[in-house]
Structure 1
Amino acid sequence: MTVETEVVVIGGGATGVGVARDLAMRGVDVTLLERDAGLNAGTSGRSHGVLHSGARYAESDPEGAADCLRENRTLREIAPAAIDDAGGLFVRLAADDPAYFDRKLDACQTLGMEPRRLDAGEIRERVPAIADRVEEGFAVPDGVVSPARLVAATAASAREHGADIHTDAPVVDIGSGPDSSKRLAVSVADGASIAADAVVNAAGPWAGEVAAMAGAELGMRPTRGVMVAVDYAGLEPVLNRCREPADGDIVVPHGMQAVLGTTSVAVDDPDAFDREDWEVERTVSECAAMLPALADAAVDRTYWGLRPLYEPDELDREGRGISRDFAIVDHDAAPGLVSVVGGKLTTYRRMAEAVTDRVCGALGVDEPCRTAEEPLPGADDPGRLDQLAREFSAIGPADSDVIRK
């Protein structure tokens, strides 16, 4: 039996549910398929949960940083109960390059971020346990986002606008539609087949495998990164080490805990990759350089996330050099298939808007995006968001200390 729809979205992380919501709000018939038992099972649910101000990318990727700043403000409007307005600090220790600090601060000012420069004493007022080696820093509007709440609320909005959402629905093949039509046929492991005018591949680190099902190629080079959640109460702002990107340069407040991150190691298979003790040890050690008490904090859980980095064939870079910004890829080998790769949790709504613009253009749908104006269900109600997270089985390791199953 073949089910008919206009668009199939593959992947139930933030980007996938964001695309489903945007399409549904524009009146498109959309079906979302997620291979796991719940949403938020991949990259989104294994992040450190920082709502980026853009400061982290300000000097290296000003356009991407500007997107972060805009989306930071948007998410605070449409999903305030999914956001902890923690604020952020970029701190320079004695061994760190002051010229790099000045470049980043200048870039943040150019973006209109309004960073506030702080001396060592002012930083210590905000973070009394900061390392003695702190020299200076600046404050930025970082925050902490709950991936489970955000993904579940976005999925609920998609559903309210008519989207069909299916978990436990791994895609096994993408082929031609019935009678060799221009439509695509998406086959699911349970034997179901869905005919669609377009398919959005939002499978994150698995996007290359999904593209291959349709006979297309997609240059993915995912990298793994460890997050270490330790018992540490009382930290207020997100702490960022102000130096060239390196292992162990961010500490994220998380209720009675802090989440330390991260590393960047290329992986060949997103379903089977090593998890090395040295990554945990280095992350703790490097983060403790900013906050010495972390060296002796009890580790509650350790989890690895995968970054869905896009690497076309002509690139040959180390994992930290590949763009974290997103790309939308049309496939000549599989007309109707659109892949979205890269990006950050903070900019998931913007990524979804760009993909939906592309798909709606191909379908002849002339409706504007409204996802930045309409609040998500339960936007200001943490209890309702937690209920939705449980309903969609969206609670991942990033949230397991604050949202109970």
Structure 2
Amino acid sequence: MSDDPTVLVIGGGATGAGVARDLATRGVDATLVDRGGLGSGTSGRSHGLLHSGARYAEADAEGASECIEENKTLRDVAGACVRETGGLFVRLDGDDPDYFEEKIAACEAIGIETERLDGDAAREAVPGLADGVAEAFRVPDGVIYPSRLVAANAADAEQHGATVHPHAPVEDVTVRDGAVESVEVGGAVDATLEPEVVVNATGAWADSIAEMAGVEVGMAPSRGVMVSVEYDGAPPVLNRCRDPDDGDIVVPHDGEVVLGTTSVPVSDPDDYETEDWEVERSVEECAAMLPAVADAPTVRTWWGVRPLYAPDESGSNRRGISRGFTLLDHERDGAAGLYSVVGGKLTTYRQMAETTVNEICDRLGVDAACETATEPLAHADDPERLDELVEAYGGANPTDADVVGVRMSD
């Protein structure tokens, strides 16, 4: 490969693929590279929750508003990349009733649709829900299949002229005279590229790319476990209505539910320990909402690393770090042309991409509007084609291996 793209996007998760798609649909020449298969970082190692924003409503109204806006957008444009399930916030006997009231009031103030249920009505709506559920309220949570989502964005980008290269690790970034001069890419690319703009969309790994360019970002990653167990019912997403803690989310899949999660700081997103207590605690806590999962056979277990941005973070409790996103222009750091987009959530990937591409287009003098909030993703309504693309881009990831993997093996 020898052609230099106008923009090189590093990181083939949802955000990076979303940036490549947005650039391409605005007519900007873009190349997307990832060191592994697409979605193999945080995006594909999550619990796959399509957030309504309710989880953050009382603590981070802005972040919650972003979630509900993007929740609605993805339901419109992402087709078989998402699944309608609904969600339920449940208060157990002994959980703070004032917190429940604060949560539901915050949701309503933001515009997150809710429906209050007493304990009996909640158990009627969700067979198998614990006897200890005192009350609950519905929210429009759902499920994201990230392997499909990333593949659809990458395919859409390629349809509009972008180039996509999985298994192409960045090996070095050269900065000269206060600006990015070149990027050395190995693997499938094996070339030194000279783009006008470089986007660091590597999530929890953003520090390592920034370090190559001699700049700092300030990530504070934390690990979390997901445990998928057999479950014959079809519950909505279940959220424990209390301050965020271990084992407070149950996400439904076909014939399974994913239980999670923990939050343990890590210093290296590639090299961290995992502990049995994380699995045990997640199962135990989720079973307080849905008792049958306590003894359900485990299908698979995986850990993911949250791409939390907190340059001043020094504590061990990272649950309080904002899940909002930040776009860093490293011109201020002596590396003009380099941007890092950090933080955020899978649900808000498209908005993160739009914000990033708006900035890049301003820099390049490109006058083109974003279309990604209204134009359906490529092949969004063709799950078989999406799963073929997942395989072509590196294969299914742990979050949705039970959906994409099953289809690919048929």
User: Quick one: distance in 2 between partners of 1:114 and 1:45?
Assistant: 28
CA change 1:183–1:279 in 2 (3 A) is closer
Equivalent residue runs for 1:2-401 within 5 Å: 3-36=3-36, 38-176=37-175, 182=179, 184-190=181-187, 191-313=190-312, 316=315, 318-331=317-330, 332-401=333-402
Q: What amino acid is the match of 1:31?
A: T
**Identity of matched residues, %:** 59
Unaligned runs of 5+ in 2: none
CA contact (8 A) 1:222 1:308 kept: yes
CA contact (8 A) 1:250 1:261 kept: yes
Q: CA deviation at 1:333?
A: 2.6
167-176 or 272-281, larger mean C-alpha shift? 167-176
Q: What amino acid is the match of 1:5?
A: P
CA contact (8 A) 1:2 1:195 kept: no
Q: CA deviation at 1:113?
A: 1.6
User: Quick one: distance in 2 between partners of 1:314 and 1:323?
Assistant: 11
CA contact (8 A) 2:179 2:335 kept: no
CA contact (8 A) 1:18 1:154 kept: yes
Q: What amino acid is the match of 1:27?
A: G
Unaligned runs of 5+ in 1: none
User: Quick one: distance in 2 between partners of 1:144 and 1:165?
Assistant: 26
Q: What amino acid is the match of 1:304?
A: W
CA contact (8 A) 1:186 1:195 kept: yes
Q: What amino acid is the match of 2:387?
A: D
2:3 is paired with a residue of what secondary structure?
strand
CA contact (8 A) 1:151 1:394 kept: no
Post-superposition Cα deviations, 1:94-120, rounded to whole Å, max 9, x if no partner, equal 010000000000011111222000001
1:398 is paired with a residue of what secondary structure?
helix
Q: What amino acid is the match of 2:6?
A: E
85-94 or 376-385, larger mean C-alpha shift? 376-385
Post-superposition Cα deviations, 1:323-379, rounded to whole Å, max 9, x if no partner, equal 111111112231111001111111100000001111111111111101011101112
Q: CA deviation at 1:313?
A: 2.9
2:362 is paired with a residue of what secondary structure?
helix
User: Quick one: distance in 1 between partners of 2:382 and 2:121?
Assistant: 34
Q: Aligned-pair RMSD on alpha carbons?
A: 1.4
CA contact (8 A) 1:327 1:340 kept: yes
Q: Any runs of at least 4 consecutive aligned residues in structure 1 with deviations exceeding 2 A, and if so which?
A: 180-184, 313-318
230-239 or 41-50, larger mean C-alpha shift? 230-239
CA contact (8 A) 2:178 2:335 kept: no
Q: What TM-score comes out, normalization by structure 1 length?
A: 0.96
CA contact (8 A) 2:227 2:279 kept: yes
Post-superposition Cα deviations, 1:112-154, rounded to whole Å, max 9, x if no partner, equal 2220000011101111211111100000111111101111001
Q: What TM-score comes out, normalization by structure 2 length?
A: 0.95
Q: CA deviation at 1:316?
A: 5.0
Post-superposition Cα deviations, 1:237-267, rounded to whole Å, max 9, x if no partner, equal 0000000000000001110000001000000
Q: What amino acid is the match of 1:30?
A: A
CA contact (8 A) 2:179 2:334 kept: no
CA contact (8 A) 1:19 1:356 kept: yes
Q: CA deviation at 1:219?
A: 0.5
CA contact (8 A) 2:180 2:338 kept: no
1:129 is paired with a residue of what secondary structure?
coil
CA change 1:328–1:316 in 2 (3 A) is farther
Q: CA deviation at 1:218?
A: 1.0
CA contact (8 A) 2:77 2:373 kept: yes
**How many residues are treated as equivalent by the alignment?**
402
Q: What amino acid is the match of 1:218?
A: V
User: Quick one: distance in 2 between partners of 1:251 and 1:183?
Assistant: 44
Q: What amino acid is the match of 2:186?
A: A
CA contact (8 A) 1:152 1:394 kept: no
